[in-house]
A and B are shown apart, each in its own frame.
Chain A
Amino acid sequence: MEEPPQTTPPDQHRLREIELDVRTQDVEINMGPQHPATHGVLRVLLRADGEILVGAESHLGYLHRCAEKIGENVDYIQYMPYTDRYDYLSSMNNNLSYSLAVEKLLGVEVPKRGQYLRTILAELNRIASHLVAVGTYGIDIGAFTPFFYALREREFLLDLFEKICGARLTYSYIRPGGVMNDAPAGWLNKVAEFCDIFDQKWPEYWNLLVQNKIFIERTANVGVMPAQTAIDWGCTGPMLRGSGVDWDLRRDQPYLVYDQLDFKVIVGEGYRGTLGDCFDRNFVRMYEMLESIKMVRQCLAAIEEGEVSHPDVSLTIRPAPGEAYVGIENPRGELGHYVVSDGTKIAKRMRCRAPSFVNLSVVEHTLPGCMLADAAAIIGATDIVIGETDR
C-alpha cells in the first residue's frame, strides 16, 4: 500500500492542528415540514452560523395533489371546486380566474350584475385573505392577539359568503358563465354594513400591531428585496408592490368592472426602513384592505338589477378548440389559468400560475444574512399558502 504524500511540513503541522481544534461548522436545521412559522408543510433547510443564516433551501411538494392533472381529466365545470383548494384563503379569486379563462375560450360575456357581484366578492375575499395574512404575521413575530381581532372581522365576511353561496371557505360560487345564484334579499345592505364596521376596526390593527415599535423593529429592514430582484424573480402582488413597483393587474390589465372603479394602487414607501422590506409588504396589505372597501362601496352604488349568469353557458361546456390565459390579481399576486381546449368537454391542458409558488422562490435568495428569527418574519411576509405552492 502506498503511503499518502506528506504535504504538510512538520512545523506547520502543529498550526494545522490548532486550526482543526477551533474549526467550526454551520448548523443545518430543518425548519418544517412541521413548524409553526412555515404556514403549512413547507420545509426550509436552513444553514446557520449561530443566529445568522448563511443559506436556505426550500423543499416543496408535501401537499401536492395533482390539481392540474385532475383538470385534464374532469369536465370544465367539475374542475371548478378544485380551484377552491389551491389557495383556500382566496377561493373566490381562484374561481374567478378559472371562470374568466373558460369564458374567454367560450367567448361569452357575463351580464353586468354578475360582473358587479363578482367584483364585490373578489374584493371582500381579498380583505378576508389579507386579514389572515396580517394576523398570522403577528403570530409569526410573537403577537398573538391581533390575529383574533382579525378573525372576528373575517367571521363577518364568512357569514356574508355563507349567506350568498352556502360555504365558508371553499365557495365554488363564481363559475364559468356567471355566478352560482343571485344574492339573497338584503345581502347587499349587509355588505354595506360590513364596510362601515371595517372602517372602524381597521385602526385597531394598525395601532395594536403595525404601529407597534417592536413590530417596526422586527420588520423594517428585514428581508429587503429591491425592485429589480422582485421583477427578476417574477414576484407579483404585495411582494412586488412592497418593493415599490407600481403594477396591479386590476388597473393595468383590467377585468370585470375594475376599469370603471376609482382606486389607488398601494405601493410600498419604505418609510419605516428600506424600500421592499417586510414592513412594506404588510403596509401594502393593510392599505389594500381599505382600497378594497372603497371599491366595494363603489360597486354597491353602481350595481343594478338583472341577470347574473350568461344564459347560454350550461353545466356541460364544450368550448371550440383553442387556448386561453387569464391572469387576475389574487390577494397574493397574479393567479393565472391557462386552458387548452380540443373541442371536447374535458380540457386538453390545464395550467395554473400560482403566485405563492413564484413568491416563495425568492425567499431562498432573501434569507441568507438574516437572523434565525427573521426566517419566520420573511416567510410570513411572503404570505404563502402551501395548498397553492404545491397544488
Chain B
Amino acid sequence: MSGIRNLGMPFDPDLFSDLKMNRSAIERRAKSLGGRRSVKKEWQAAWLLKTITFIDLTTLAGDDTDGRVKRLCAKALRPVKEDVLLSLGAQSLNIHPGAVCVYNNFVGIAVKALAGSGIPVAAVSTGFPAGHTPLAIRLVEIRASVKAGAQEIDIVIERHMVLNENWRALYTMIARCREVCGEAHIKVILGTGELGTLTHVAKASMVAMMAGADFIKTSTGKEGVNATLPVSLVMVRMIRTYFEMTGYKIGYKPAGGISDSKTALQYVILMKEELGNDWLTPDLFRIGASSLLTDIERQLEHCATGRYAAYHHQPLV
C-alpha cells in the first residue's frame, strides 16, 4: 500500500460524541444514488475491470480446505479470461483482485499460491466473526497471521463495546491490535448489522480511525445484515470527516451481500461521489466478495462480444 499511513490520534470523545445520523435522509440519498449515475459501454467495461482490483477475493467458510484456498488463489491470478481482456484492450492493465482473504490457518497456503504475483493475503484473525475470545488470544492470532505472511489483518470489534457505548475500551482494543499488526495493514470490521443504529456506526467508525485503522469495514459476512448502501454512506462520510480533521485517508471495505456487478458499481459510484477519485484505488477501497467476480466476468464478456454470457463459461472462483 502507498500513501501516508494513518497514525491514529489520542482518544477524544469530543470529536464524535455529538455525531447524529438521520436514517431516513441517509436512506433517501442511498436510494437515489443508483439513479443519478450510470456507466455504459466502454465506461462500464473499464469500471468493472477496476472493480475487480477492489475485490478482496474471500473464502471464510467452515468447510474451507487447502484445496479450496488454492483454487481461489488460482482464480485471483487469472481473474478474467485472456480473450476477453484482449478484446477490451485491457491486457496490459494487469488486472487482479486487491487481495485474497482467508482464515488465519490458511494464510501460509495462500501466500505460497500467490508468491511472486504481488497479490497480498489478508487474514481474519481475531476470534472471527464474533470477537468473543480473550484479547490476549486474539493478539496471538494476529501475530501468527503476520508471521505466516499476511500483509493485511481484518479484525472484528467487540460489538458490546459499541452497544454499551464503551468507546474508550473500543479504542484501546483496536489500538492494541494495530500495534501487534506492525507493518501489516489493519482493517477494522464493525459488524454494522449488529450495531443497532447508524449513529453507532458513525461513532464506531470514528473510534476505529482514531485508534489507527487503515481501513474500516462493514461486516464479517456472517451477520444477519451485511453491507448496505446507507451504512456505507455513513462510514464514508466519517472517512471524509476524519480526513478533513487529520489529513489521513482511511480505506473503506464493504463486505457481504455484494454479489453482482450492478450492486458493486453502486458502491464504486458512492465512493466517487462522496470521497472522490482519490479513493478509487485498491489502497483505499475494497469489496469483500467472491461470487461477485463471476458476475463481473460475465458482464465483461458481454461488453467484449455483445452476447449475454453464461455463468458456467466462467472459470469457477
A binds B: no
Residues of B within 8 A of A (CB): none
Question: Interface of A with B (CB < 8 Å)?
Answer: none
